[in-house]
Structure 1
């Protein structure tokens, strides 16, 4: 069995067995890497046309980020949402990431990230701790896994620790782009995760390419369980300077 065939089988296993997330989202699988002293602006769009209540939800995310050195970076995120052609403020978020391990040859990287967000209306505020790792097991292939613990604050907050798991298997292409198979997990409370179908499960792909100084990504997520939005189309655009 050649390496490409093995990789395709790994991808299939990930799709079938991995947990998914709330599909109508602008989040990715956070990678523990950065370029020192780099700044960047970005726009992300996610659209879910067929939610359980038959509404159409679009999310618009705007972000600015800056790395202080080779090990730390902060990011500011503002997000609005469209629900049946009505636009409203969604959330404001601040992230801080620091690289804690970078092995020789960059075959393994690890990082922690702290997230703090405030949301519209009566929805609870949220704090999160992210632990992310990436392994480069061949010249053009890498695997990223992230574990996320969320804590909600406010009158409508859920108690306890809410857990997410995100995975991505990425392959660089000959044309300079890359394609990644991604799975997301919204597994519920750590002490009571419930059944598989009660959790939010989705999987899909993200294709990325670079056009001059702009990185473009387009992707699709498919909900696997009844608790998850059925379909989400995603488009990202980032400019680094």
Structure 2
């Protein structure tokens, strides 16, 4: 989402039906918040989009989990440990472009630093969160996490929250269907310092019936945890 001062907020949503980024203006002028579709941005054919974030100067940053034009099973390919995905940026005048040295295994969640110079992205199948400069200068830095990291969210104190699935590749789909040998999975919430990439476990709930966590979102003095499966949100104390 983009919320520029003096302008209506804009929501960007990835649409896999036609492989595009759909653009909506958020109308909050009435009691019922509405979305007004204003257009779309087609994606390159070699991109399978996952996460998207707005850049401060008006562009977008996006993760691609893998190249859908490559032969074979993409899910199996992601779990080989190889860099199957990447990060791309989009600008109205130049279109899509890959970020240099942004190869990641199953690139997933993404966050943009406040200065717009770097991104932080989740390498889902490599169990790490990576910070890299958008212009390709400097070195990557990373934090290893004990799960498959999914979405990333900023906190008000400038850190990043991440959660995900502590599960094998074989059980990803079966757990989502309510079966599998390691279900429910429980969940862990980790806080990452984006400057040092040092990580701290805030909540570790291995025996929780809550399963297949995707997002740890700070809400007031709590953290709300979303999931792939089910219709519930876990609420825990905040940072």
The two structures have a TM-score, normalised by structure 1, of: 0.33
Relative contact order (C-alpha < 8 Å, sep 6+): which is higher? 1
Q: Decide which structure has greater strand share.
A: 1
The two structures have a TM-score, normalised by structure 2, of: 0.34
